[in-house]
Amino acid sequence: TQAPVNVTVTGAAGQIGYALLFRIASGQLLGPDTPVKLRLLEIPQAVKAAEGTAMELEDGAFPLLAGTDIFDDPKQAFAGANVALLVGARPRTKGMERADLLEANGGIFKPQGEAINAGAADDIKVLVVGNPANTNALIAQSNAPDVPAERFTAMTRLDHNRALAQLAKKLGVSVADIKKLTIWGNHSASQYPDIFHAEVAGKNAAEAVNDEKWLAEEFIPTVAKRGAAIIEARGASSAASAASAAIDHVHTWVNGTAEGDWTSMAIPSDGSYGVPEGLISSFPVTTKNGKYEIVQGLEISEFSRTRIDASVAELGEERDAVRKLGLI
C-alpha cells in the first residue's frame, strides 16, 4: 500500500476546519486509495480545542487516517507537508482598515511561507482559504523562494460552485449539466463570475439565459455577495460549503478536470488575459497529472473586460499595500 500523504491544515480548530478535517480523513481530498496523515496547526490558545477535534477524528475510525499531530509552530507543522490547506487567518474586525488587515495577515502568512520553504516536501501543493485569500497566498509564495510559485493557489472554488448553483437554478437544470463556468479575479465582492463561455447541456449558457439585466443585476451580485447573505442567515460565515470547495479544489488539482470542462483557481498569473504577471488571480484552468494550465484563447467581451479589469485592479492595490508593508 501507498505511504500516507502529509496534509497540513492551519486554523484546524475553527469552523471550516471542523467540516474539512473529517472529509480529508474519509478520503475525499485525495481519493479512496490514499492514506493521509494530518498535521494540524493552531495558535497556542486553540491547541486544546484542536485536540478535541483530533479525539473525534480518532473516534471516526477512518481506515485512511494514518494519524493526527497537532502543532503551534509552523516550522514543525509544515515539515514534510505534501498538501497544505491554509485556513486560519485574521478576520477583519470593526474599524479595521484594509492596511491593518493585510498587516495582521502578513504576520501569519509570511512565517508560514518561510516554514513551507524550509521544510515542506518537494511536491508541496498549497491552497490558501483564509482571507484575503489571494493576497495571503501572494505573501506566502513570496516568502518561499525555493518552492515553484505555481504551487501557491487561493480558493475561488466556492465562488465557482455558488455560480454553478445560481445558474442551474435560473435555467432549471442540474449543476452537473453546466460546464466551463469561470470566476475571474479576486475572491472578494469584485470577483467576476463569467457565463459567456459556459455551456448548458452543450448550448451556450449566456444565450440560454438571454437576459443581460439578470446577469448584471442579479446573478453577479448574488454570487459575489453570497458570503454576506450566509452570515446574515446563519449568524456565522460559510463553513461547510467552504470546506467542500477546498476539497473540490485540491481533488481537481490532483486528479484532473473532466474532458470538455474546466474549473476556477486563483493562481500566479503568467500575464494571460492582461492580468499582470505574478498577481494571484482567478482564471479558468484545466488540470492533469497534478498540474494546471490556464485555458487560452477565450474571447473577452467588453462586458467581461470591464469587470475582470476592476477585480484585477483591486488585486494590484492589495499587492502594492503588502509590498509597502515589506511583506513581499
Q: Which stretch binds ligand NAX (CB under 6 A): 25-33, 88-96, 209-217, 282-290?
A: 88-96
| 113 near ligand NAX (CB under 6 A) | no
105 carries a ligand binding annotation:
yes
Torsional class of 166: left (φ above 0), alpha (ψ -120 to 50), beta (otherwise)? alpha
CB of 322 to ligand NAX, least distance (A): 16
| 130 near ligand NAX (CB under 6 A) | yes
Which of 292, 302, 301 is closest to 270 using CA atoms? 292
| 242 near ligand NAX (CB under 6 A) | yes
Pairing of strands 36-41, 65-71: parallel
Binding ligand NAX (rule: CB under 6 A), the pick from 110, 187, 249, 319 is 187
C-alpha distances (whole Å) from 89 to each of 16, 108, 147, 247, 310 are 11, 7, 22, 18, 25
Task: Count the site residues for ligand NAX by CB under 6 A.
Answer: 28
| 199 near ligand NAX (CB under 6 A) | no
131 carries a ligand binding annotation:
yes
| 42 near ligand NAX (CB under 6 A) | yes
Catalytic annotation, pick one of 160, 187, 197, 249? 187
16 carries a ligand binding annotation:
yes
Q: What gap in Å lies between CA 193 and CA 166, rounded to an integer?
A: 11
The Cβ of residue 223 has, within 10 Å, a number of other Cβ atoms equal to 23
C-alpha distances (whole Å) from 306 to each of 185, 262, 273, 303 are 12, 23, 12, 6
197 is catalytic: no
99 carries a ligand binding annotation:
no
Pairing of strands 5-10, 83-86: parallel
Q: Where are the alpha helices (DSSP H) in the chain?
A: 15-25, 47-59, 74-77, 98-119, 133-142, 157-171, 205-209, 212-214, 220-224, 226-234, 240-255, 302-324
Q: Which CB, 175 or 239, lies closer to ligand NAX?
A: 239
Cell numbers found for residue 170:
435560473
CB of 223 to ligand NAX, least distance (A): 12
Which residue number has the CB closest to ligand NAX? 14
Q: Which stretch binds ligand NAX (CB under 6 A): 95-103, 125-133, 139-147, 303-311?
A: 125-133
**Residues 6 or more apart from 301 whose CB is under 8 A from it?**
196
Q: What gap in Å lies between CA 98 and CA 69, rounded to an integer?
A: 34
Binding ligand NAX (rule: CB under 6 A), the pick from 5, 21, 38, 87 is 87
14 carries a ligand binding annotation:
yes
| 238 near ligand NAX (CB under 6 A) | yes
Which of 159, 74, 85 is closest to 117 using CA atoms? 74
| 158 near ligand NAX (CB under 6 A) | yes
| 239 near ligand NAX (CB under 6 A) | yes
Binding site for ligand NAX (CB under 6 A): 10-11, 13-17, 41-43, 46, 87-89, 91, 108, 129-131, 133, 155, 158, 187, 227, 237-239, 242
> Which residue ranges make up the annotated binding site for NAD(+)?
11-17, 105, 112, 129-131
List, by residue number, the catalytic residues.
187
